[in-house]
Every structure is written in structure tokens, then in C-alpha cells.
Structure 1
Amino acid sequence: MRRFIAIIFFLGFFQLGHAQLFSGEAILNNENFDRQRWSWGYFLGFNTYDFNFDYKEYNQNAIGGKDLVVEKGIGFNVGLIGNLKINNNLDLRLEPGVSFNTRGFQVTKADPDTYREVNATYVHIPLLLKFSADRYNNFKPFIVGGLSTSINLSSNENNPDDNYAGQFRMTTHSYYYEVGVGVDLYLYYFKFSPSIRGVFALNDELIRDENPNSIYTGNVKKMSSRGIFLNFTFQ
């Protein structure tokens, strides 16, 4: 599903870019938009999250040496944008939003009862630098990158029950770096910007079970989230 979303995005990107670059369009939409020092907007989009597990020891009895197998899902993003223009090709952006996602994991070759479904609601706050090419007609590609933090409202961090009571626990606060690409399309009434972005956690997000030999957490050295965001921005 993640590859399907990426393919759809880049096909749309190619079609829109082709129309802008080779149509010979002379009329500029929102010609003065980028002269604003401050601009505002909102975004809607989709996400897919994964868990990246680093293990203390390689498990020869597990598939690919992995104790835990992850099942990814598709979620939803929504948020606001504040943009500060630094110069014609550089912007500083704050993009606070909320993301919803469901993913799961299961102990390799274990009983189906070991499956854990993880429902997450994140308050996600990235601070990003946006590097843009010069505008051509109504088309301007960009790359974006920066740091972010999130609050996991479904973390279960302070829950006394662990996996042996059916409760999977994560840290409430996490920190990430983000990189992505996109394109600004200047339409008649607003600027529309589809983009795709990778989001990678920096800290260990796993709360260990009380049992040091837990089949869920005992061999995990570090667990961190990683995800792909497909956002559609309106300014």
C-alpha cells in the first residue's frame, strides 16, 4: 500500500509538472503570493507508520532474525501551516497537526495471541526549512527537511499493565528528523502543494515489560517509529 501511494503521488506530480512546464502558459496565477513575508494554510493527507526494531542478539530461529513482525496500516493527517519567508528560495515553516494511525506486530512463529494492535493519535509539531527552486510559470518544486516532536496521546506509558496483560506501551514524547520533496502549484485562488515526506524517530520509544525475558521486549535494544506522510497543502 505504501508503494501504491508513492506511485500515485509521483504520477500526479509528473502530469501536473508536464502541464506546467510544456504548456507555454503565460498567465501567472497568484503572481504576488511569494512576496508575503508571512503566509498561512492547512494540510490534509495520509500516513503509514512502521516500527524499526534493533535487537540485542540475532535470533537464528526467527524469520530474518527478527523477533517481531510488523503490520503497517494507513492513517490520516490534518493540521495548520505557518510560513515565514526568509528569501526567494528559503522558507521556515511550522506545521502543527494531528495524525491518526493503526499498526500492529506479532512475535515471529508464535501463537496468534501474541499479536498487538497499536492505535496511535499523535500531536505532531515539525519545524522545517523549505528549499525551493525558482518559480517557472505556475510551478515550483521544493525539498523540505527539519526536526519535529510529537505527543502520543495513546502511549500507555504510565499504564501499570504490560504486554502480558495485553497492553503495549510506548513513550509519550518522541523526536524525529524529516525529509521530503514536493511541488508548489499556483492556482487561480490559492497555492496547492502536494508533498511526500519521510519521518524517522531518533529516540527509543519502547517501554519494557516487567519480565526481563519478555518475548515482546526482552531482546529489543531500541524501537523507533518511522513513517511516510503524503500531504496536500492549501495556502
Structure 2
Amino acid sequence: MGKTVLKINLLTAIFVASLMNAQLFRTKDRMDNLEGFDNQKFSYGFYLAGNNFDYKLVLDPKFGMDGDKNLVRTKSSYSFGAGLIGKLRLNDNFDLRFEPGLQFVEREVYFDTQSNDQYASGTTAYPPFIPRTLTEADKLRTVKSTYVDLPLLIEVHGDRWYNSRPYAAAGVNWMMNLQSNNKATDDNQQGIFRTTASNFAWSAELGIQFYFSRFKLTPGFRGTFMINDEMVSDNPDTPPYWNAAIANGKTRALMFVLKFE
């Protein structure tokens, strides 16, 4: 995985460097491309995204911690997404963007919570339960998610310099998880990890827009951070090996986006 990420980063760096050489530093006999493009009231396009999604967990001090040891760990993975772009020009420096898309995500959550057997007699907040020996299948949850991502962003950009200009954007997202399992009656005791279906997040993005003779290409980096807790509690009769160990869990993601307009 590490070598693959290094190759991706190297190819991205070469790609961006080539763009910068072509668009920024070669000034001889260069014409400004798409001169009136950004004066349109509305414009459209699409984007592709390479993603890294993870959970930021706050663990329950009783069921999720054993002294200073975290009993629940997460592992992110690289995935992809794609979507459409709709832009409304507000003035020379501000645009309003709506970029609906699909994000395909897979993460791992590992519950090393066998030590919670010590609470089998019950606590003030949890009823007694019969301990069970956790297998690797019990401990590992592979969480697949398909998010319908609906971000609304305010973009601010600098003045155009030849065939490029920098920009920054920020806004809010509504993210519908089509694989949340939130309505399932089974839970982790039967191997079903449940999360919320409807979620809200905020996003921030930085990048550079490059103008070619027929289209505008925008590579950028976007961070998306969930606002609400996504964890759905296990059923009352389920032992506290799983979601009881998590007090709060929210998605955080870093995306490399490549936009075509």
C-alpha cells in the first residue's frame, strides 16, 4: 500500500509540474485561453476524486479503554468518487458551487474488547451479560459505505495570471449513506455494523485552475469532516464488545479532486 501511495503521489507531482510548466512558465507566444469563460452566469462540468476516508473515534472510558490502551482501532483505505459540477457566478472573485457526487468507501474497525468480560455482572449503565470468546470475525468489521455527497461551496479565487488562477472554497455537505444498515434489526452480535443514513459535514478545499483551449482543468485537495455522530447503538441485549465501546464516531476524509469544466 505504501509503495502504491508513493507512486500515486509521484505521478500527481509530475502531472501538476507539467501543467505548471505549460500554463505558468512558458510565456513566449502564449495566448490566454477561454478568456470569457468565467464571465458566464452559469457553467457546468464533472469531477473525479481519489479519497482516503477514516473514522475519528471518541472511546467510552469504561468499555473502550483498558487503562491507557485504546480497545478500538480504525484503518482507512483509498477509494474513489465522481460527481457533477454546477457553478453560479456571484462576482469577479466569488462563485457558488454545487457539486453532487458519489463517494465509494471501505474502512476497517477493530474491536480488541475481550477485557470487557470484567463487566459481565453489570454496571449502573449496562445490564449483566454472558461473556463470549471473541473470534477474529467478531473483532473485525469491514465497513462499506456509499455516500451520496451533496456539497454547497462558496469559492473565492485570485486574479487570473495567464492561464491559471488559485482558489479556495468552503461550505457544507449533506451526505446520505446508502449502506448505513441503520434500519437493520440485527447488530454487531450478528456481524452487522450500523451507522446513520443522513449526515451533515463541512468541507474546505484548495487548488489551482488551469485554462486550456477547450476546457478548464482544476486539481485540488478537499477535506471533509462529519459534524454529527454516525454510530448507531447496538441492541440493548448485545454485550458491550462493540458499539458500546464508542462514545462518538465521525467520518473524516481527504480527497484529491480533478475537475473538468
Q: Taking structure 2 as the reference length, what is the TM-score of the superposition?
A: 0.82
Cα distance in 2 for residues equivalent to 1:154 and 1:234 = 29
Say which of 26, 35, 38 aligns to 2:42.
Answer: 38
Cα distance in 2 for residues equivalent to 1:6 and 1:50 = 19
Alignment of 1:46-195 (within 5 A): 46-57=50-61, 61=66, 65-108=69-112, 111-113=135-137, 114-195=139-220
Q: Taking structure 1 as the reference length, what is the TM-score of the superposition?
A: 0.91
How many residues are matched? 234
1:231 aligns with 2:235: no
Q: After superposing the two structures, state which structure 1 stretch, 212-221 or 24-33, moved more.
A: 212-221
Per-residue deviation at 1:12?
3.7
Determine if contact 2:47/2:257 at 8 Å carries over to the other structure: yes
Cα distance in 2 for residues equivalent to 1:181 and 1:8 = 19
Cα distance in 1 for residues equivalent to 2:109 and 2:85 = 33
Cα distance in 1 for residues equivalent to 2:94 and 2:258 = 20
Determine if contact 1:106/1:112 at 8 Å carries over to the other structure: no
Unpaired runs of 5+ residues, structure 1, are none
Query: CA offsets per residue over residues 84-125 of structure 1, 9 Å max, x none?
Result: 111111110000111111111111376422101111111110
Give the residue type in structure 2 aligned to 1:182.
G
The residue aligned with 1:218 is 244
Give the residue type in structure 2 aligned to 1:209.
D
Query: CA offsets per residue over residues 169-224 of structure 1, 9 Å max, x none?
Result: 00000100101111111011100111110100000000011247522111321110
Per-residue deviation at 1:27?
0.4
Give the residue type in structure 2 aligned to 1:24.
T
- SS of match in other structure, 1:206: coil
CA gap 1:176/1:9 in 2 versus in 1, 3 angstroms: farther
Cα distance in 2 for residues equivalent to 1:202 and 1:65 = 26
1:13 aligns with 2:33: no
Give the residue type in structure 2 aligned to 1:162.
D
Of structures 1 and 2, the larger Rg is shown by 2
RMSD, aligned α-carbons: 2.2
Determine if contact 1:42/1:79 at 8 Å carries over to the other structure: yes
Cα distance in 1 for residues equivalent to 2:193 and 2:39 = 49
The residue aligned with 2:118 is none
Cα distance in 1 for residues equivalent to 2:155 and 2:13 = 19
Say which of 15, 21, 26 aligns to 1:23.
Answer: 26
Unpaired runs of 5+ residues, structure 2, are 115-134
Cα distance in 2 for residues equivalent to 1:72 and 1:34 = 37
Cα distance in 2 for residues equivalent to 1:118 and 1:181 = 29
Q: After superposing the two structures, state which structure 1 stretch, 173-182 or 14-23, moved more.
A: 14-23
Cα distance in 2 for residues equivalent to 1:30 and 1:81 = 18
